[in-house]
Chain A
Amino acid sequence: MPSSPPSGMSSRHSLSAQRRRAAMWFLAPMLIALFCVAAWPLLRTIYFSFTNTTLTSLYDGKWIGFDNYLSYRKLSSGRVIWRGTLADPAWWNAVWNTVRFSVVSVALETVLGLIVALVLHQNFKGHGWVRAAVLIPWAIPTIVSARMWGWMLNDQFGIINDILLNIGLIETKIAWTANIETAMLAVLAVDVWKTTPFMALLCLAGLQMIPKDIYEAAKVDGVHPIRVFFKVTLPLLRPALMVAVIFRMLDALRIFDLIYVLTPNSKATKTMSVIARENLIDFDKFAYGSAQSTLLFALIAIFVSAYIWLGKVDLSGEHSK
């Protein structure tokens, strides 16, 4: 043990330095683990996107600058040809699919999740069981639920068509996942089914944080319940809701498994992750796929920063103290 310094001032100083050192040691394993599993792969992907690496020769890639993103060549006829991901219509189609999917699915899940949370927040007999049961779709692995829904949505022997036919809602069997008009609807329906419980859970946690006495005060004043919801519940729930939405958005923007398993991967449903994987592995264009992965990462980063900034989301929890 080091001998304690004479003056009180420097003693506090060295104590806090010691604490900082200890904290560093405690944090080090986590930082190293994070670096290995998150930062390193990310940096390497970004590096690959500036090379001409292929999967068969992972270590022989040469630096080619921004060619995977955008490059142009002048033909002898004087025509200028643009190449690279940013000039690839298939990429922009995937971006559009992803954004459309994310916005619609997260909007639906937020509204439905909030409704489910409001119901679960009430005290009724067996509400513990119901809360657990609601989580089941979220607990099933996506691949399993995608397969399951694939069979239920099957045009010939699927139960969905059978039910709809029997109650007379449709005339002929619909090929939900194959038809380009309904493929995205099918994906959205399954995703909403799967992740609404997650939203409901986060909303429920938010609801439980709201002090009961505010409601009692509103009751005493005779405020209409709908007014209470919009003037009291929603504003107080907003911080929790904003965080929940950002979690879901992050998840939705990189959707892969559900679409890959459920639909035939046609133009109608191909997302950024699906197209990046296709280039990375199927086409042996590892660097090109890396560029797409990097763009996906950049897009998500920009979106999250904008969301936090514009929505004044409080992720650190400083203001609520």
Chain B
Amino acid sequence: MTKPMHHARHICAVLALGAMAQTATADEVTLASGITGNAVENFKLIVAPWEKATGHTATLVPMPSSTTDQFGQYRLWLAAGNADIDLYQTDVIWAPQLADQFVDLSEPAGELMKSHFPSIVESQTVGDKLVALPIYTDAPALYYRTDLLEKHGASVPTTWEELTKTAQMVQDAERAEGNDDLWGFVWQGNAYEGLTCNALEWVKSFGGGQIVEPNGDISINNANAVKALELVSQWPGTISPDGVLAYQEEEARGVWQTGNAVFMRNWPYAYRLGSGDDSAVKGKFGVTTLPTGGGHDTSAATLGGWNIALSKYSENQDAALSLAMYLASPEAQKLRALNSGNLPTVVSLYEDADIAREVPIIPQWKDVFLQAVPRPSAPTKGAYNEVSNKFWSAVHNTLSGDGTAAENLELLELDLTDLKGSGW
């Protein structure tokens, strides 16, 4: 990474050439990746077999957990042609925006991709180019406290309205008993990409469409979407702390894992961490699909997921490609599933006996995964970040009481129409 090392690498290569040695040089492959929970330790565990087999080393460059922050940094590095980073862990929504900066992997990884979910591979394909290899997928679910629901005779809610009532009831009852810090529901309300995910789920599960439809039509300004946001805007200060409007995943997990929430909306990584020995909710919680609302019958879970892309500026193309292929392989995905509870993108792993025994949540998560809804990154192309930013700003304004849902969505529609112009 650093200059001297860089030179050392060159010197090594020269020496190897000089000696006409046939052995491959040991390269250092760097991977930039956002960090949540115990991702650093898990990374070392997962790459160990690859390092042993190839003699290369893999170095993790830890990045902030906010995907918005990561994207900004990566875009800057890629625009500058940074050769220090070989591989990038990319969000499922980035492929259309960064396609030009990454190497086409359809040739080397074509065969491997046949074992993955076709829809996920599709999300990483721009034109004919395979921009990144999926390493795990993500779909959020509703976490609930089995002990608290049982204690207060409540059932697991299937609608948002029911969740609001149950959360309020349990919260009131627990507070009456002196449990002052208990909250009904925690989620991600900070003004960032995560709020787009949360809000897309509310809107979609109320039958309000998915902001921009696959054909490019702007659908967000409708009665169901307004109804969804009107319900949600009652939450901060009642069943959710006011501070939820500054929460990202880790803040929500902080409240949940210390035993201070009845419900939480979060990604699968929180399951494994919540079951750890240092967790106050160990063995006291269950997971289910997110609720529906407004009489609509299907729920929605925003499709997340992470992929590995190979920078075209990397000077270690071969070693980097080898690591990317390894990380996307069934072997590495199984290790990752067992260690961090991430959902594999390899179809056969959902039937795997070890995974079913160690992380029973993964086979169950297939139900959540079936209701996954993509963010409108494909139809909006390069403008996705701005669309998402405008959407989360409109929602954040509504939730913090700056304008009503109807007013803000109407303005949002106008903004998006302006942004779209004659086409995305």
Interface residues of A (CB under 8 A from B): 55-56, 58, 154-157, 173-175, 177-180, 263-268, 277-278, 281-285
Residues of A within 8 A of B382 (CB): 284
B243 contacts the other chain (Cβ, under 8 Å)? yes
A20-B396 Cα distance, complex, nearest whole Å = 61
Sample of 28 A–B contacts (CB below 8 Å): A56-B100, A154-B251, A156-B181, A156-B255, A157-B254, A173-B243, A175-B241, A175-B246, A178-B242, A178-B243, A178-B246, A178-B247, A179-B242, A180-B401, A264-B192, A264-B245, A265-B191, A265-B192, A266-B245, A266-B393, A266-B396, A267-B397, A267-B402, A281-B75, A282-B71, A282-B385, A283-B383, A284-B382
Q: Which of B72, B245, B246 counts the most chain A CB atoms within 10 A?
A: B246
A196-B300 Cα distance, complex, nearest whole Å = 50
Asked if B68 and A282 sit within 8 Å, CB to CB, the answer is yes
Min CB–CB distance B420 → chain A (angstroms): 14
Residues of B within 8 A of A180 (CB): 400-402
Q: In chain B, residues 366-396, which have Cβ atoms closer than 8 Å to a Cβ of chain A?
A: 382-383, 385-386, 389, 393, 396
Asked if A264 and B241 sit within 8 Å, CB to CB, the answer is no
Q: In chain B, residues 223-246, which have Cβ atoms closer than 8 Å to a Cβ of chain A?
A: 241-246
Tally the A-B contacts, defined by beta carbons under 8 Å.
87
Residues of B within 8 A of A179 (CB): 242, 245, 400
Min CB–CB distance A63 → chain B (angstroms): 20
A268-B254 Cα distance, complex, nearest whole Å = 26
B112 contacts the other chain (Cβ, under 8 Å)? no
Residues of B within 8 A of A154 (CB): 243, 251
Residue of A nearest to B186 (CB): A156
Chain B contact residues: helix, strand, loop or mixed: helix
Min CB–CB distance B77 → chain A (angstroms): 11
Min CB–CB distance B264 → chain A (angstroms): 13
A173-B243 Cα distance, complex, nearest whole Å = 9
Residues of B within 8 A of A155 (CB): 241-243, 246
Residues of A within 8 A of B401 (CB): 180
A157-B181 Cα distance, complex, nearest whole Å = 10
Residues of A within 8 A of B385 (CB): 282-284
- Selected from A264, A268, A283, the residue in CB contact (under 8 A) with B190 is A264
Asked if A175 and B243 sit within 8 Å, CB to CB, the answer is yes
- Selected from A157, A266, A283, the residue in CB contact (under 8 A) with B397 is A266
B76 contacts the other chain (Cβ, under 8 Å)? yes
B344 contacts the other chain (Cβ, under 8 Å)? no
With A264-B190, A281-B72, A282-B72: A178-B245 Cβ-Cβ less than 8 Å:
yes
Residues of B within 8 A of A284 (CB): 75, 97, 382, 385
A304-B260 Cα distance, complex, nearest whole Å = 51
Q: In chain B, residues 61-78, which have Cβ atoms closer than 8 Å to a Cβ of chain A?
A: 68, 71-72, 75-76
Residue of B nearest to A263 (CB): B246
Given contacts A157-B254, A266-B400, A267-B393, could you give 10 more A-B pairs where the C-beta distance is less than 8 Å? A56-B100, A156-B254, A156-B255, A175-B245, A180-B401, A267-B397, A282-B72, A283-B386, A283-B389, A284-B385
Asked if B246 and A177 sit within 8 Å, CB to CB, the answer is yes
A24-B5 Cα distance, complex, nearest whole Å = 40
Q: Which of B71, B400, B401 counts the most chain A CB atoms within 10 A?
A: B400
